[in-house]
Amino acid sequence: MRKFVATYVAKGTYELYPEGEVVENVVQGLTDNLVAHGRMYCPCADVEDSKTKGSDMVCPCKPHHADIARQGYCDCALFAAPDFVAAERLKKP
């Protein structure tokens, strides 16, 4: 799962959310959903609802682009815009 996430970040325009513990929790949720349901459903959404939406809610989900444009990061807090990540790093001492 970590390789999938790292590859997506390396090939795309997004970065990982700047809090490592949050990222690890999301990665674990994706792994759990893959094992339990056979697909990497976003852990921030209800799995049964996600199943009705099909591949739209499989990571990277269809709404993540709009989420990042709106708030700087996807609703699961896995992927984030580079400017959001940079701003968060400036806040830390």
Residue bearing tokens 């682009």: 65
Residue 93 clears pLDDT 90, i.e. is over it: no
Q: Looking at the domain assignment, is residue 59 inside a domain?
A: yes
Residue 92's pLDDT is what?
Answer: 80
Residues 6 or more apart from 93 whose CB is under 8 A from it? none
Q: Looking at the domain assignment, is residue 85 inside a domain?
A: no
19: containing domain: 2-67
DSSP string, 31-59: HHHHHHHSS-B-TTS-HHHHHHHGGGGBS
Radius of gyration of the chain (CA): 13
Q: Looking at the domain assignment, is residue 35 inside a domain?
A: yes
The pLDDT of 60-65, averaged and rounded, is: 97
**Total count of residues recorded for the chain:** 93
Q: Looking at the domain assignment, is residue 63 inside a domain?
A: yes
Residue 31 clears pLDDT 80, i.e. is over it: yes
